[in-house]
Amino acid sequence: MKMISKISKLVLALILVGSSVFAQSLADAKKAIDAEQYQKAKSMLKNLTVTQGTKDENFFYLGWVYILQEYPDSAKAVFQKGIAVNPKSALNYAGLGVAAFVDKDRNTATTNFNQAVTLAGKDSKPYVYIGKGYLLNATDGKVAAADANAAIAILNKGKALNAKDAELLVVLGDAYRTQLKSTEALGNYQNALELDPKLATAKVATGVLWRYADNYEDSERLFKEALAIDPNFGPAYREWAETDIRWSLRDPKMASAKVKEGVEQFRKYISLTDNSLETRLRYADFLAYAGDYKALQEEANALAKSSNGNLRVFRYQAYAAYENKDYPTALTAMNTWITKADPKRVIPRDYLYLGRIQIASGQDSLGIKSLQTAYTMDTTQADVYAEIGKSLYAQKKYEKAGDAYRQYLTKSRKGTLNDYLREGTSYYFAFDSKKPDTTLLTKADSAFSYISQKSGKPIPAVVLFRARVNDSKDADRNNIKGYAKPYYEQFLQLVGTTPPADDKAKAQLVEAYSYLGAFYQYKEKDDAKATENFTKVRELDPANKQAAAFFAKKGGAKGK
């Protein structure tokens, strides 16, 4: 009996130790997830799903790692196992909803999110992960307002259940931050830190908020504070790296130093995570963001040798090769990515690059279609119309080029007066006197007029084009109205007092004086003024045929 008693005590001790190990291991796995050590977390959680196979939480967090690594199909399979273990697992239903959401199956996502909420009771964690899920479908880092608002709504419901869930408060702050609601974001981050002053994720999130406000010094301070809490918290280095790059873009004097520092910070991030394929792919994303395309091409080529067929490598090869003007490599890589990848993984920026690559490869028509596809997928990509306009202009498809620039100026906030000049010149060159469409001249003059109004002072090139447009309006050359006269006179006032700098400038002066000479010759019948202008034409261009004809006729008239 004593022997049985000893064995019973030993078994009980092992059970207690096992429970302690499980609790610690799950906590460690979650800590690894927060630190973006996904391979480490995945290894621990796979073990837990075996050793503690009745705990549905283990399956959920393993599935969540798959979500973060962009393997939604694997995540879905694991969440379903969690539900098999516990049919009332709110977390795993939330996970299924997220897997459907990232796969853009919103109906299924909503069904599973509703089921998760029904089963959650007073547990706020399912609300946290539904909120996180709504923020995952970002396009080039931008979360759609509808998705962010859905996240905010569900997270506030979770907050009503448990206002002391610090993780929930951080995610709620993130949701507000994506919509530039800085006050609300900061309030939630501060509330989270009041609950847990050593919450590194809240410190980093606040640092990111200051980055978006271009307050880089406070950003760095908060990243350092996060690292003081946990020196191995890799995300602090990652966000610090991205802050350095934003700083470099905003301050040219700091550009070189900050890009270099940013790359070093990201390497620290890699060293603190797991140097997995997913981490290296994220590094490739960072290099693209940093504009270090030489390093990106080297990294993409290295990944191609060790990626075990991960197609995303082709995306980075295409981006880098295009920027490095290696267009054949870029075209092959991008075609491979777009044709072989799951269509749900292809993003607008991929079509943007495909269009640029095709245009650079002489496939302009295909390139324009690809750029239009990029805009269709993401209507914030209005800048593609400037690229479409440039391509069409190079092909001498001037009216379509003008339409593209008009679209760009209508839809984008980045349009400049130079873009109005491009629009105007496109429509001007589209006009054909043999098949006159005066609406093209009206559109051209409207663009040039806008520049004149906004520029504050006359611009010679614009004045010259307004002269040409108005000259084209004089369709009846035998009954010239002189619409262009004031513009050619203004052009000469602006540039005619200095010697022409080159042949182009000389030709423009000849054009202006020739028009005025003909105007005075035929319209005003003012021989003196006509002679004055054609004399200047002859001085600039002794072989000018129009001036020669004028003086020949003038001489003949005198002979008679």
Of the candidates 169, 172, 175, the one whose C-alpha atom is nearest the C-alpha of residue 144 is 175
pLDDT(288) > 70: yes
Tens of pLDDT, residues 74-126: 999 999 999 999 999 999 999 999 999 999 999 999 999 999 999 999 999 99
- What pLDDT shows up at residue 277? 81
pLDDT of residue 12: 41
Q: What pLDDT score does 14 carry?
A: 41
Nearest to 516 by CA among 498, 504, 528, 505: 528
The token pair at 392 is 């069409």
pLDDT bracket for residue 18 (50, 70, 90): very low
What is residue 252's DSSP assignment?
G
pLDDT at 4 > cutoff 70: no
The region of weakest confidence among 21-35, 223-237, 383-397 is 21-35
Query: Domain limits of the chain?
Result: 292-381, 457-559
Quote the Cα angle for 339-101-68, to 5°.
80
479 vs 199, residue with greater confidence: 199
The number of beta carbons lying within 10 Å of the beta carbon of residue 78 is 26
Q: What is the dihedral of CA 472, 476, 477, 478, to 10 degrees?
A: -160
- Give the pLDDT of residue 6: 45
Structure confidence at residue 2 (pLDDT): 46
Checking if the pLDDT of 13 tops 50, the result is: no
Is the pLDDT score of 558 beyond 80?
no
Q: Which CATH architecture has domain 292-381?
A: Alpha Horseshoe (1.25)
Provide the pLDDT for residue 15.
Answer: 40
Distances (CA, A) of 173 to 106, 227, 351: 24, 20, 32
- Give residue-wise pLDDT tens across range 124-158: 999 999 999 999 988 767 899 999 999 999 999 99
pLDDT: which is higher, 458 or 554: 458
Tokens representing residue 156 in the block:
């506030």
Fold matches, 292-381 and 457-559: yes
Task: Identify the band that residue 477 occupies on the pLDDT scale cut at 50, 70 and 90.
Answer: low
Question: Comparing C-alpha atoms, which of 317, 313, 377 is closest to residue 341?
Answer: 313
> At the top level of CATH, which class does the domain 457-559 belong to?
mainly alpha
What pLDDT score does 501 carry? 86
